[in-house]
């Protein structure tokens, strides 16, 4: 007997913006952050992150990040 188990949600946020200083994560303009979206798993978030990072490769100050939202919502279960 095969029991299918629903995959646990592991939400990830992808966002980015232009940094004011390349030596630290400090954004030049918080009003212009690019919120790419929230994704159901790391693989989908990584795919979105890669796409945005490749689109902005000519801007050295532009950075995109993946935030593991599931770890913030449930730190002990992550």
Q: Is residue 31, in this structure, part of any structural domain at all?
A: yes
The total domain count for the chain is: 1
Coil, strand or helix: which one is 56? coil
C-alpha–C-alpha distance, residues 9 and 73, integer Å: 11
| 24, part of any domain | yes
Is residue 20 assigned to a domain? Answer: yes
Asked if residue 55 is part of any domain, the answer here is yes
- Torsion over CA of 24, 75, 47 and 17, rounded to 10 degrees? -30
19 vs 1: CA distance, rounded Å? 53
Q: Domain range for residue 53?
A: 12-73
pTM of structure = 0.84
**Domain CATH for 18:** 3.30.70.2400
Q: What are phi and psi of 49, to 5 degrees?
A: -60, -45
Residue 59 forms part of a structural domain: yes
Instruction: Assess if residue 6 is contained within a domain.
Output: no
pLDDT tens digits, 3-62: 566 667 899 999 999 999 989 999 999 999 999 999 999 999 999 999 999 999 999 999
């Amino acid at each position: 007997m095969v029991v299918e188990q629903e995959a646990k949600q592991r939400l990830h946020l992808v966002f980015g913006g232009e940094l004011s200083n390349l030596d630290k994560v400090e954004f030049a303009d918080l009003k212009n952050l690019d919120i790419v979206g929230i994704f159901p798993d790391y693989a989908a978030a990584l795919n979105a992150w890669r796409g945005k990072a490749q689109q902005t490769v000519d801007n050295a100050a532009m950075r995109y990040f993946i935030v593991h939202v599931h770890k913030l919502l449930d730190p002990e279960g992550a």
